[in-house]
Amino acid sequence: MKVLFKNIKELLQIRDENTRFVSGKAMNELPTIKDAFLLVKNDVIYDFGPMKDCPDEAVDHVVDATGKMVLPTWCDSHTHLVYAGQREGEFVDKINGLSYQEIAEKGGGILNSAKQVQNISESELYKQTKTRLDEVIALGTGAVEIKSGYGLTLESELKMLSVIKRLKENHQIPIKATFLGAHAVPEEYKNNKAGYVDHIIKEMIPLVAEAKLADFVDVFCEKGYFTVEDTNRILEAGKLHGLQAKIHVNQFNSIGGVQAGVKQKALSVDHLEVMKYEDIVVLEKSKTMPVALPGCSFFLSIPFAPGRKMIDAGLPLALATDYNPGSSPSGNMNFVVSAACVKMKLTPEEAINAATINGAYAMGLEHKVGSITKGKQANLILTKAISSYHFIPYSFGNHQIERVYLNGVEVV
């Protein structure tokens, strides 16, 4: 199957195959070609360049992109797409003044979602999740990481991971699965957190790894959840079983989670709303991708990760949605990109880099998606007719997507 996009006003995010991520000053560069063509052959980007070099060969489908732009689909490296029911009651509690922690203390929060996941069948959970995945694809997401962590029992964690496995099998987009048994301490272990950590290490991780149900391991390293010591123990167990770390750190407190992540060679450390100087310094010497989640900051009214500061310090940065029922009930990467510009002072170039190639790196998919590169999967956004790509973050709360292509096939 051959698809030719021609007369593209501007083709965005052109990279060679050696670019794994961009950091520091380079984040402010977004390589483009104006008046371009792009040829898709057999699911991948086969060729692209200026229109004057457009090949004159028979194709199955021509897309006239006059006035429009083409860019790689968004890479959302942090989501909790698998969940049951909603938590809009807590939303109202929050408006009325309760904090995230106070809601959790009165039985809301992660434990509320865990109850709902425990009481639902796998097929119903799959159905609810598939709807959300289709929705985010329509919003331009073309690669996604999905976590467990609302099961909190062996059976329910496996149920969540099995749902992710089925999504991987039935969807066109690359999906990575993360085991997040250490998302919260379940009710049964309320007075025995060490027992739950042991259960994760001794029973859950070996089984999950053996069944090949996860690519990564995650921990919510935070006061009231899991300590740095718990985190180190769990990540080491994950490593032993071939699961690289991607962890929740510094959402509310800086307690050493970033340092633990770097020490354990985490692929990413995510949230980072509260960052001390030493948290930034330790990342400078690492290959760990910092990931900011502006949707969560917006929804919980908590600080935004200091993205500007991190990039100015020379770090890379990725952006993700954190799509989940408690702290970010939205999987809209277009909003995330806008919020990063408005609230974190990223330039449009930095935000687009953070939401594509750097997001791909943060889930180990940079060889496959995240840029316009020959041989990469042809997961593409065709924008509406727009004056410049700055219009993408500028038009916040809206999106500029006319069509989404997965493997070169129009899906939206």
Annotated binding site: 78, 80, 87, 150, 183, 248, 251, 322, 324, 326-327
Question: Which residue's CB comes closest to ligand NIG?
Answer: 326
Angle at 43 between CA 41 and CA 49, to 5 degrees: 50
Closest CB 300 distance from ligand NIG, rounded Å: 8
Q: Which is nearer to Fe ion, 215 or 322 (CB)?
A: 322
From ligand NIG, Fe ion, none, which one binds at residue 163 (CB under 5 to 8 Å depending on kind)? none
What contacts 208, CB < 8 A, 6 or more positions away? 157, 158, 161, 179, 181, 214, 241, 243
Distance CA(267)–CA(291), nearest Å, equals 10
Residue 322 contacts Fe ion per CB under 5 A: yes
Shortest Å distance, C-beta 9 to ligand NIG = 37
State the binding string over 33-72 for ligand NIG (x if CB under 6 A, else -). Answer: ----------------------------------------
CB-wise, 14 or 272, nearer to Fe ion? 272
- In three-state secondary structure terms, 295 is helix
Dihedrals phi, psi of 366, to nearest 5 degrees:
-70, -20
Segment interacting with ligand NIG (CB under 6 A) among 277-285, 318-326, 368-376, 380-388 = 318-326
Q: Which residues are annotated as a binding site for N-formimidoyl-L-glutamate?
A: 150, 324, 326
The binder of 327, among Fe ion, ligand NIG, none, by C-beta within 5 to 8 A per type, is ligand NIG
- Decide: 331 and 139 in contact? Cβ < 8 Å: yes
Q: Which does 113 bind (CB under 5 to 8 A by kind): ligand NIG, Fe ion, none?
A: ligand NIG
Size of the site for Fe ion (CB under 5 A): 1
**CA nearest to 353, candidates 30, 104, 64:** 30
For tokens 């699965």, the residue is 177
CA distances (Å), 235 to each of 181, 182, 194, 228, 289, in order? 12, 10, 15, 10, 16
Beta carbon nearer to ligand NIG, 125 or 352: 125
C-alpha to C-alpha distances, 187 to 114, 177, 190, 261, nearest whole angstrom: 10, 25, 5, 27
CB of 293 to Fe ion, least distance (A): 7
Contacts of 154 (CB under 8 A, 6+ apart): 199, 203, 204, 207
Tokens 């407190």 locate to 253
- Residue 164 is encoded by which pair of tokens? 């992710």
The β-bridge partners of 379 are none
296 lines the binding site for ligand NIG (CB under 6 A): yes
Applying CB under 6 A, which of residues 48, 196, 220, 361 lies at the interface with ligand NIG? 220
Instruction: Name the site residues for ligand NIG (rule: CB under 6 A).
Output: 109-110, 113, 220, 248, 251, 296, 322, 324-327
